Chain A
């Protein structure tokens, strides 16, 4: 079955992972800007990262017939550094017109500090100024409820924001209701131990229905599974759900949210070397 992985940090994954994702039906991924595992030292480092997200990864994905889109920001893990955040946010607009940039994300908070919240607001204002879709990270573990509550309340302060253009990601049992009842989209993250399993994701779909809910692997440099979405497909079949319902979750709902960007399409994109786009240089592999 064809699927879209709404949240995959592919710069952290191997080309073999793209291969496995293609074999299991992946037709598109969206990659939010992420923390590298260490704090980047300068705004220049972020520019290099944004070039990797908008130039290198779309080509690497295209070699496997997968469309690659991205979201740009300074990740919440680095949001405490207000000076750096301001520098990075000033540099983001020049990347927003690139053909695979869908919006601002994944913004949010990590340990729910005052500085993180200020950086979050800066990003939201950037998205409003440039009419961008927003992709939001909600915090981990004990910080999730408090962080999600503060994020939702903060977003509701902006009359300019249409909640249907905002994905509040990484929902769990104690946060999904406040996200959906305020009109936002949400994501269920199929991530080992610290987010939801496929079975709990299915429980949430059964409890809350299919409207404005997507699922993703959030695969990154940590313990994570790039084929988590097809694992969910298998688990949905095991539960007895129909292919029609499954397709809505893993394919039609992502299109419903992402399709609000005029840049998003699923037309076949030729692999480098066979592309009509002369700017798509072949990706060098085996470094």
Chain B
């Protein structure tokens, strides 16, 4: 459902006028990042769990279904429900790594 509790004062074309340039910039940054990985020639850049999550997320951008951001957030999220037995590291990595969770 695409309804809002508070409608945006800016409507369709106005939103594009306001936000297109900065959004275009972000898409080009993503393309440049992926090209950078390709130039490295390292197949690990493709198999890395973060790259896999990013590919899934990019597919959501183009599937035309709302809401994209909620679904992309869940792609990057730990889907398990049990607490970890002990602390593995202080910082999160940005995407769920199923291999690490298998131990």
Contacts and interface: CB of A to CB of B under 8 A. Distances in A.
A145 B74 contact: yes
B9 interface: yes
B4 A206 contact: yes
B70 A174 contact: yes
Contact of A142 (B81, B90, B95): B95
Q: What's the interface size class on B, roughly? A: 20 to 34
Nearest to A39: B90
Name the interface size band of chain A. Answer: 35 or more
A5 interface: no
Contact of B94 (A77, A141, A205, A238): A141
Contact of A146 (B6, B78, B94): B78
Nearest to B85: A114
B94 A239 contact: no
B92 A205 contact: no
Interface string B36-80: 000000000000000000000000000000010110011011111
The 8 closest A-B pairs by CB, nearest first: A240-B9, A209-B5, A174-B73, A141-B92, A145-B77, A80-B87, A140-B92, A113-B84
Interface of B: 4-10, 18-19, 67, 69-70, 73-74, 76-81, 83-96
Interface of A: 77, 80, 110-117, 139-146, 149-150, 172-174, 199-200, 203, 205-210, 238-241, 245
18 contacts: A110-B87, A113-B86, A113-B87, A116-B87, A141-B93, A142-B76, A142-B77, A142-B78, A143-B78, A146-B78, A146-B80, A150-B81, A206-B7, A206-B8, A208-B5, A209-B5, A209-B6, A210-B6
